Structure 1
């Protein structure tokens, strides 16, 4: 897409597409997510999206200025889906835990989009709501503002970093992913104790653990560290 500006009041396309749907920002985002899952970054083109939607490609400019604006919308959609159905429990640790695990799981359910979007800052509604919620959890629990901000930063970066890494692995072609997984047994499982005593001693545990994500345990380490940083925190949480 190239840069274009369409007046706010002129963005809605009321005539149905060839598939009989009325074009909307949400329909474009949903379609883009589906196409990215199949084709990766190449899906973010007006030609491909227009064909999938049964609409003139130029109509997409009524909703998004360019492909980067669409990518930010995809990123925000993932953040929004991660929050669907989330409710506060009143325990700040449990609320952060559930929020982090939701973010990680949602990104892994859309690995191709996660690889493109996990590191972006959108400033869009779903993201701002998530920032407000997480800061609310921390501040209401009694974290002073400087620590709440640092905790927010560490929490979000940890969740997104693991999500991006794990999603990138899932986004690999199946043959490459299976080859990477086989390395643990083909290489590490055959290392002699004489030269690699610690790998040899822990190999069965190591191979089993490396088959999954390290995020859940890393999240628990972060929560324990935050508790130690400010043990006077209450059990309260922020707004839902």
Structure 2
């Protein structure tokens, strides 16, 4: 039978129907037996796996084993891994405080939001990778977005620009945290760190990279993860202008 060309009209680029995604199983008319598990149980199991073993460890089979279910039974809660990832992202977004009274200093409020995002992503190291592809915003994600937009009200930016600023901020935090995690893993290998330091010292001394040599010779700055993040964040947010 030919496929109806309009059948997927409500689905996004990754095949997730936003109109159905955020309606938990059982919200509509119920037929047959009551489900043995809740969507919440399935999502929490998937998040636990991702936190402990990384995003690649999240498979429908492993999640089913975590909750003691058959693999096929999971498909009534999430038809595929991509849908499950949408649910996972929004589930952990519920940990972010969605309400706060704006101070009126939108740059300060935006920086506070970025620090919350960084701490959140460090608790769930799989999030930067999960956010790298298009995600359908669920209720928790939208609640945090509402907080960010309220914080940006005094900025004078129009609606589209405020959305762009929040997307830019989130992308910055995700990229920085991803680098922070990989750097922490690399630092556990002293030999590798020493080899990299020797290489950069040799490059700076070869006479072909005077700008790099000057930069490396400059006084150092605090290199703690928090201080580095704050420094980069200040440059980003303080450079934003109305318009």
Name the CA distance, whole Å, in 2 between partners of 1:182 and 1:209: 19
Partner of 2:80: 66
**How far apart are 1:168 and its partner, in Å?**
5.5
Cα RMSD over matched residues? 3.6
**Which stretch shifts more, 210-219 or 109-118?**
210-219
**How far apart are 1:45 and its partner, in Å?**
2.0
**How far apart are 1:49 and its partner, in Å?**
0.6
Q: Does 1:150 align with 2:161?
A: yes
Partner of 1:167: 178
**How far apart are 1:28 and its partner, in Å?**
1.8
Q: Does 1:46 align with 2:60?
A: yes
Name the CA distance, whole Å, in 2 between partners of 1:13 and 1:113: 32
Q: Answer whether contact 2:50 2:126 (CA < 8 A) is retained.
A: yes
Partner of 2:200: 188
**How far apart are 1:48 and its partner, in Å?**
0.7
Name the CA distance, whole Å, in 1 between partners of 2:222 and 2:206: 20
- Which structure would you say has the larger RCO, counting Cα contacts within 8 Å and 6 or more residues apart? 1
TM-score w.r.t. length of structure 2? 0.69
Please give the per-residue CA displacement for 1:82-114, whole angstroms capped at 9, x wherever unaligned. Answer: x23752342322221111111122112222243
> What does 1:99-118 align with in structure 2 at a 5 Å threshold?
99-118=113-132
**How far apart are 1:71 and its partner, in Å?**
0.5
**How far apart are 1:193 and its partner, in Å?**
6.8
Q: Answer whether contact 2:60 2:71 (CA < 8 A) is retained.
A: yes
Distance 1:80 1:135, change over 3 A: same
> What does 1:71-150 align with in structure 2 at a 5 Å threshold?
71-81=85-95, 83-84=96-97, 87-91=100-104, 92-139=106-153, 141=154, 143-145=156-158, 148-150=159-161
Name the CA distance, whole Å, in 1 between partners of 2:140 and 2:225: 28
Helix, strand or coil for the counterpart of 1:229?
A: coil
Q: Which runs of 5+ in 1 are unaligned?
A: 16-22, 231-240
TM-score w.r.t. length of structure 1? 0.70
Please give the per-residue CA displacement for 1:89-142, whole angstroms capped at 9, x wherever unaligned. Answer: 423222211111111221122222431334432221112222222222222x25
Distance 1:137 1:104, change over 3 A: same
Q: 1:57 aligns with which of 71, 80, 86?
A: 71
Q: Answer whether contact 1:36 1:42 (CA < 8 A) is retained.
A: yes
**Which stretch shifts more, 204-213 or 193-202?**
204-213
Name the CA distance, whole Å, in 2 between partners of 1:186 and 1:210: 19
Distance 1:166 1:61, change over 3 A: same
Name the CA distance, whole Å, in 2 between partners of 1:217 and 1:49: 39
Name the CA distance, whole Å, in 2 between partners of 1:219 and 1:118: 19
Name the CA distance, whole Å, in 2 between partners of 1:205 and 1:58: 60
**Which stretch shifts more, 189-198 or 97-106?**
189-198
Q: Answer whether contact 1:108 1:166 (CA < 8 A) is retained.
A: yes
